[in-house]
Chain A
Amino acid sequence: MQENDHILRVQDLKTDFKVGRRTVHAVNGVTFDVRRGKTLCIVGESGCGKSVTAHSIMQLLPPNGTIAGGTISYYTRDGACEILSNYKRSGPRMRAIRGKEISMIFQDPMSTLNPVYTVGSQIMEMLKKHEKVSKAEGKARIIRLLGELGIPNPEIRYDQYPHEFSGGMKQRIMIAIAMICNPTLLIADEPTTALDVTIQAQILDLIRKMQESYGTSVILITHNMGIVVEIADDVAVMYMGRIVEFGSVQQIFSHPVHPYTRALMRSVPVLGMNKDQELAVIEGTTPDASTVFTGCEFAERCECARPECFHRFPKDTEIEAGHRVRCLLYEEGGEENG
């Protein structure tokens, strides 16, 4: 693959959190690429580090979190490479990227909008920050975008406050904030988790529609396999701060190899499946984030675990072009387990 195909390349990213006197490795050596114009889904249980990965890219980690290692490279439209992980958290270069090049939507729309400003002014703030536009021109553009996002009466809604909007409408406003400057990459951190099921589909449709009309690349973070199969081009499965399997959506869904991925798939109901068929349950619970491992993090819950899994860290193994897995079963010399 050529460099030009990528918009973002994350290599061996490590993010640490200081909790009291302990250090927790929330993200522990994550590597992946985002292809231009495509959608990457990062899936995993809560606490697996998927959200932290997204926040690391944007350098929006809380004060006790730091990028401890690895590089995040962002390739601009004209092919220049910006090493985001070298930029200061709130320095001018990072700020020029945020919003303009990469923008982000968060999980809970009830709390992501500032309650004391009108939604119009909150979108305008983003536009004014990155583009030179007149007030009237900007307002027209915002109202047009709000219309595209399916907000009725955008002219009136423009001057209203967040508390006058429902959750789904607020998330549309968030999308408007994120999209108003035509970013090349949109990071959506569980954008539908806090919403009603019916609204979820609408919001996902909107994200897809925005992607199609503006050619934006998307990183979508979710724990919902149903969403992944619908929207993803590439999939990264995360467990305990590491990517255990990475591949295209076809590779992951038609030929999942990592025991965790397979367990995850079996735990999801599929439309048309037999009513009497029981859903599989992944045994055990996610270990505490500060647990120290001597081997594969999943071994404790893995149905295919072998004694060596507890003592040796698996390495990334490419089993097919673009399909990577991090499991001892597939390492050189390892035998495939049927």
Chain B
Amino acid sequence: MFKYILRKLLALIPKLLVMSVILFFALELLPGDALSRTMPPDQYQALSEAQKVAAREALGLNAPPVIRYFRWLNQIFHGDFGYSASTGQNIGTMLAGRLPYTIELSFYGLLLATAVGLLLGFLSAVMKNTIVDYFCTTISVFGISLPEFFFGIVFIILFSVQLKWLPSGGRMPVGAHGFFSRVPYLVLPVMTMAISLTAALVRYTKNSMMDVMGKDYIKTARSKGLRETTVSFKHAFRNSLIPTMTLIVMRLPRLVGGSAVIEMVFNYPGIGNMALTAVNAGDIPVVMITTMTTGVMVLLSSTLVDIVTAMLDPRIRLG
């Protein structure tokens, strides 16, 4: 198991490097002066032409791309992503302030979707052709067929405007601290975020369960005289999880990408919202770096899911 995790983590390195190369050259190819991205815009404005030339020389911007790439990589490791063209803020600082919010949102969304999706999928497979099954199937069909923001709007109207149970948006009350003051602000966005993945998981888990229930080892388990609940939970469910994990990995980008829409619906200050503002302000470097960041998030979380899959399946762990 340890060896497997190590191998997975090592495999991340080339992927991250490739991503950084893409990002570097994408930024290089952007029109405009590379120097302008290394300092706040007002500071850049204040420089004279001669000073700019000197600054370029001093910062090594005239060096060959390969050298600049490694220098840039080093900066990134120190959290220096350059400056936003529209707000003049340091992009690293912007990210540091917002990324945790998006991670929190996505993580709880993933957790909720997995828990509910697997449970409902399992139930609808075990109680096939009962009310429970029809209920779960209907939910999943609608969850797949409507845009996420629609659910966001409905939740706001229902829970926030009508019932007044939860706030309609934002992050936490002014001046408050701590996890518990955030919870009410998280409930609706997390629910909205989880819907589409939950719907997909219910469907997939059900199919996967039905598939496994037809396998020979289920017959073996039954031939041992085990209870039907033991057969379906211990023998079928665990096996049905393995392909389901692949689905989760495949859907991770969509989950994280959904945060852009959901953060806007709930006015939630995460990086999706940041990217949206940046696109509207024409601040392409910020959008690029944000997109990369979400890519890294997806990469790391899919590694995590892969490790969970390996824990479930000895053939992957030992193979």
Q: Specify the chain A residue showing the minimal Cβ separation from B128.
A: A63
Pick the residue among B214, B220, B223, B318 that contacts A113 (CB under 8 A).
Answer: B220
A177 to B227, CA, bound (A): 17
Give complex CA distance A116, B312 in Å: 7
- B12-39 CB contact bits vs A (8 Å, 1 = yes)? 0000000000000000000000000000
- In the assembled complex, which residues on chain A have CB atoms less than 8 Å from the CB atom of B214? 62
**Does A90 lie within 8 Å of B220, measured CB to CB?**
no
The reply to whether A98 and B318 contact each other, CB–CB distance below 8 Å, is: no
Count B interface residues, CB 8 Å: 24
Mark out the residues of chain B between 301 and 319 whose CB falls within 8 Å of any chain A CB in the assembled complex. Answer: 312-315, 318-319
Tell whether B224 is near chain A: CB-to-CB under 8 Å.
yes
Beta-carbon contact of A95 and B221 below 8 Å: no
CB of A129 within 8 A of CB of B219, answer no
Contact A114 B221 (CB under 8 A): yes
Contact between B314 and A115 (Cβ–Cβ < 8 Å)?
A: yes
A114 touches B225 (CB 8 A): no
Q: Is B238 an interface position by the 8 A CB rule?
A: yes
- Asked if B291 lies at the interface with its beta carbon under 8 angstroms from chain A, I say no
In the complex, the chain B residue whose C-beta lies closest to that of A123 is B224
Q: A115-B314, A161-B318, A163-B314 are in contact. Are A60 and B217 (CB under 8 A)?
A: no
Q: A112 to B218, alpha carbons, bound, how many Å?
A: 8
- Whether A130 is near chain B, meaning CB under 8 Å from some CB there, is yes
B223 touches A97 (CB 8 A): no
Is the CB–CB distance between B314 and A60 below 8 Å? no
B312 proximity list for chain A (CB < 8 A) = 116
The listed residue with most A CB atoms (<10 A of its CB), out of B216, B225, B235, is B225
Bits for A106-118, please: 1 = Cβ < 8 Å to B, else 0.
1010011111100
Known: A116-B239, A164-B318. A98 touches B217 (CB 8 A): no
Least CB distance from B202 to A in Å reads 21
User: Whole-angstrom distance between the alpha carbons of A60 and B238 in the complex?
Assistant: 21
CA distance A305 to B239 in the complex (A): 52
- Closest residue to A102 on the B side, CB-wise? B223
Q: Is the CB of A112 within 8 A of B216?
A: yes
* B228 interfacial by beta-carbon distance below 8 Å: yes
Chain B residues within an 8 Å CB radius of A115: 217, 239, 313-315
Which of chain B's residues have a CB closer than 8 A to the CB of A103?
223-224
A115–chain B nearest beta-carbon distance, Å? 6
* Contact present for B228 and A113 (CB under 8 Å): no
Q: Is B161 an interface residue (CB 8 A)?
A: no
A218 to chain B, nearest CB (A): 15
Within the complex, the shortest CB–CB distance from A180 to chain B, in Å, comes to: 10
Which A residues are in CB contact (< 8 Å) with B318? 161, 163-164
Nearest CB in chain B: distance from A16 CB, A: 19
**Number of residues in A with C-beta < 8 Å to the partner?**
32
Does B215 sit at the interface, judged by CB under 8 A? yes
Cβ distance A93 to chain B, nearest Cβ, rounded Å: 10
- CB of A129 within 8 A of CB of B226, answer yes
Contact B220 A98 (CB under 8 A): no
Q: Does B171 make an interface contact (CB < 8 A)?
A: no
Q: Which A residues are in CB contact (< 8 Å) with B251? A: none
A96 touches B225 (CB 8 A): yes
Q: Are B313 and A98 in contact (CB under 8 A)?
A: no
Instruction: Determine how close the nearest CB of chain A comes to the CB of B131; give it in whole angstroms.
Output: 19
Contact B215–A111 (Cβ < 8 Å): yes
Set of chain A residues within 8 Å of B219, measured between Cβ atoms: 60, 106, 112
Interface string of A82-108 (1 = CB under 8 A from B): 000000001000111111100110101
Q: B164-208 toward A: CB 8 Å interface, digit per residue (1/0)?
A: 000000000000000000000000000000000000000000000
The minimal Cβ–Cβ distance linking B85 to chain A, given in whole angstroms, is: 53
**Are B223 and A114 within 8 A (Cβ)?**
no
**B222 within 8 Å of A (CB atoms):** yes
Decide: B216 and A111 in contact? CB cutoff 8 A: yes
Is A3 in the interface zone, CB < 8 Å from B? Answer: no
Task: Give the nearest-CB partner of B239 in chain A.
Answer: A116
Shortest distance between the CB of B317 and any CB in chain A (Å): 9
- Does A199 make an interface contact (CB < 8 A)? no
Residue A125, interface by CB 8 Å: yes
Q: Which residues of A contact B216 (CB under 8 A)?
A: 106, 108, 111-112
Q: How far is the CB of B271 from chain A (nearest CB, A)?
A: 38
Q: Which residues of B contact A327 (CB under 8 A)?
A: none
Interface residues of B in 212-249 (CB under 8 A from A): 214-217, 219-228, 235, 238-239, 242
Interchain CB contact under 8 A, B225 and A100: yes
| Cα-based distance from A122 to B220 in the complex (angstroms) | 10
Interface residue A126 (Cβ < 8 Å from any Cβ of B): yes
**Docked pose: A178 CA to B220 CA in angstroms:** 9
Query: Contact between A98 and B222 (Cβ–Cβ < 8 Å)?
Result: yes
B229 (CB) vs chain A CBs: closest residue: A90
Interface string of A159-199 (1 = CB under 8 A from B): 00101100000000010011000000000000000000000
A58 at the interface (CB under 8 A from B): yes
Docked-complex contact A112 and B239, CB < 8 angstroms: no
Contacts of B223 in A (CB 8 A): 58, 60, 98-99, 103-104, 178
User: Given A111-B215, A115-B217, A116-B313, is A60 in contact with B222 using a C-beta cutoff of 8 Å?
Assistant: yes
Decide if B217 touches A114 in the complex (CB within 8 Å): yes
* A-B pairs with beta carbons under 8 Å apart, 27 shown: A58-B223, A60-B222, A62-B214, A90-B227, A95-B225, A99-B224, A100-B225, A104-B223, A106-B216, A106-B220, A112-B217, A113-B217, A114-B217, A115-B217, A116-B239, A116-B313, A116-B314, A122-B220, A125-B224, A126-B224, A130-B225, A161-B315, A161-B318, A163-B314, A164-B318, A174-B220, A177-B224
Q: Residues of B with Cβ closer than 8 Å to A? A: 214-217, 219-228, 235, 238-239, 242, 312-315, 318-319
Given A58-B223, A113-B217, 7 more contacts at CB 8 Å?
A98-B222, A99-B225, A112-B216, A116-B313, A125-B224, A161-B314, A163-B315
Residues in chain A within 8 A of chain B (CB atoms): 58, 60, 62, 90, 94-100, 103-104, 106, 108, 111-116, 122, 125-126, 129-130, 161, 163-164, 174, 177-178
Sort A-B residue pairs by CB-CB distance and give the 4 closest, nearest first.
A98-B225, A99-B225, A111-B216, A95-B225
